[in-house]
Amino acid sequence: MKALVLEAYNQFTYKEVPDPKIADNEVLVRVKAAGICGSDVHGMDGSSGRRLPPVIMGHEAAGEIAAVGSNVANWKAGDRVTFDSTIFKKDDWFTRQGHYQLSDGKMVVGVSTPDFRKDGAFAEYVVLPEHILYKLPDAISYTQAAFVEPAGVALHGIEITQPSMTDIVVVVGVGMVGSFVLQLLKIRGCRKVIAVDIDDFKLDLARKLGADHAFLPDDPKLMETVKALTDGRGADVVFEVVGEEDSVNTCISAVRKGGKVTLIGNVTPTINFPVQSVVTREIRVQGSCAINGEYPAVLDLIATGRLDVTSILSAEVPLSEGAAWFDRLYNKEKGLMKVMLKP
């Protein structure tokens, strides 16, 4: 089969690779659409430490089942599916407690670390365990379905944070996942949602998707404005959807005393952290990892038109052109949000 392989940092090759083989409990999925995630872009240069070459990346995808293993009973060739990005153990202690995203020995599709390597969906086919698959409603296209994973990441962050209708919420970073956080907060009925991003294009899109206000983080009056919009206290809840030091510090500054900060972004391994500000203002800071069962809800939201996923779609291109589009994303081309690769 053909695949886009990261053979060395910043070096992709579109080439023939061996056809994957499936185990008894696995399925072979013919990939129809696979999105380039921001974590893939950061992974290509080695900065995230989670894409050790050689590896076939791609964890946001959808396709059609081409073959099933001998022990697979609930799926058949021809089924239209998407899949969770986390490959978890069903008999793990964390899984049994309802937190499969934290299971010991888990793997992430399209990710390579010192602990594991699992080739992903930037290829004609990908092999997956049957228990991470989800069937697509007829109303959802393969392209729409490839957005379910990042939308699921956004919804998981909201679910573990539990903002209320009375809350004023700030979202720092309104790229792909951040734009879904924004939309889902509006669907949840939060009192007011404020978007912060370094990109004017993304802020304009955030306004179209329902943000009540949108600001650049280097605005010298940003914190003064946030205070004015929150009755002088600061935001009740802040979501960080970048994963860098400056944006985390913006979140800590924007939240009120006793408020919540949820960290979703994950591109920088370590940062300097304002401990005293967090402790003296009794701020709750938590991480949000991946997805934990949010796929069915996201599929329903997309199928019924309540969640707009294609508004951030910039281009649908052949997988063979993937390397060039990675470069454009890496160079932060203006107006470029989501690129969908088609094998």
**Residue labelled with tokens 């179209």:** 208
CATH of 2-147+309-342 given 3.40.980.10, 3.90.180.10, 2.30.30.240, 3.40.50.261: 3.90.180.10
Cα angle: 140, vertex 291, 76; to 5 degrees: 50
242 CB contacts (<8 Å, ≥6 apart)? 172, 173, 175, 178, 248, 265, 267
Question: CA torsion sign, 220 to 225 to 226 to 227?
Answer: positive
User: What's the pLDDT score for residue 281?
Assistant: 98
41-76: per-residue pLDDT in tens? Answer: 999 999 888 999 999 999 999 999 999 999 999 999
User: What's the pLDDT score for residue 62?
Assistant: 98
Lowest-pLDDT choice from 8-12, 65-69, 101-105, 266-270:
266-270
User: What's the pLDDT score for residue 254?
Assistant: 98
Contact indicator for 147, 63 with CB cutoff of 8 Å = no
* pLDDT higher than threshold 90 for residue 248: yes
Lowest-pLDDT choice from 95-99, 157-161, 267-271, 333-337:
267-271
Mean pLDDT of 215-241: 97
Contact indicator for 299, 134 with CB cutoff of 8 Å = yes
Q: What are phi and psi for residue 206, nearest 5 degrees?
A: -60, -40
What 8-state DSSP symbol labels residue 92?
A: S
* pLDDT higher than threshold 90 for residue 269: no
pLDDT band at residue 237 under the 50/70/90 scheme: very high
Q: What percent of the chain has pLDDT over 90?
A: 97
176 - beta bridge partners? Answer: none
5 CB contacts (<8 Å, ≥6 apart)? 12, 13, 14, 15, 17, 54, 55, 56
Contact indicator for 131, 90 with CB cutoff of 8 Å = yes
**Residue labelled with tokens 């020995």:** 105
196 - beta bridge partners? Answer: 172, 215
User: What's the pLDDT score for residue 127?
Assistant: 98
User: What's the pLDDT score for residue 166?
Assistant: 97
How far, in Å, CA of 105 to CA of 96, rounded?
Answer: 14
* pLDDT higher than threshold 90 for residue 18: yes
**Residue labelled with tokens 């995230």:** 48
303-314: per-residue pLDDT in tens? Answer: 999 999 999 999
* pLDDT higher than threshold 90 for residue 268: no
Q: Where are the CATH 3.40.50.720 domain residues in the chain?
A: 153-287
Q: How far is CA 240 from CA 17, 243, 250, 259, in A?
A: 38, 7, 9, 14
User: What's the pLDDT score for residue 158?
Assistant: 98
- The token pair that represents 92 in the structure block: 């793990």
User: What's the pLDDT score for residue 65?
Assistant: 98
User: What's the pLDDT score for residue 48?
Assistant: 85
User: What's the pLDDT score for residue 70?
Assistant: 97
Q: Which of 161, 209, 202, 158 is nearest to 183 (CA)?
A: 209
Question: CA torsion sign, 204 to 206 to 212 to 216?
Answer: negative
User: What's the pLDDT score for residue 49?
Assistant: 85
What 8-state DSSP symbol labels residue 51?
A: B
Q: Which of 104, 29, 99 is nearest to 65 (CA)?
A: 29
Q: Give, for 325, the enclosing helix (H) or strand (E).
A: helix 322-330
How far, in Å, CA of 289 to CA of 151, rounded?
Answer: 13
Q: 3-state DSSP call for residue 218?
A: coil
pLDDT band at residue 23 under the 50/70/90 scheme: very high
Contact indicator for 134, 82 with CB cutoff of 8 Å = yes
Q: What kind of fold does domain 153-287 have according to CATH?
A: Rossmann fold (3.40.50)
User: What's the pLDDT score for residue 233?
Assistant: 98
- The token pair that represents 128 in the structure block: 């997956």
Q: Give, for 208, the enclosing helix (H) or strand (E).
A: helix 200-208
* pLDDT higher than threshold 90 for residue 197: yes
Contact indicator for 175, 307 with CB cutoff of 8 Å = no
Q: Where are the CATH 3.90.180.10 domain residues in the chain?
A: 2-147+309-342
Q: 3-state DSSP call for residue 151?
A: helix
123-168: per-residue pLDDT in tens? Answer: 999 999 999 999 999 999 999 999 999 999 999 999 999 999 999 9
pLDDT band at residue 327 under the 50/70/90 scheme: very high
End-to-end Cα spacing for the chain: 10
For the chain, the average pLDDT equals 97
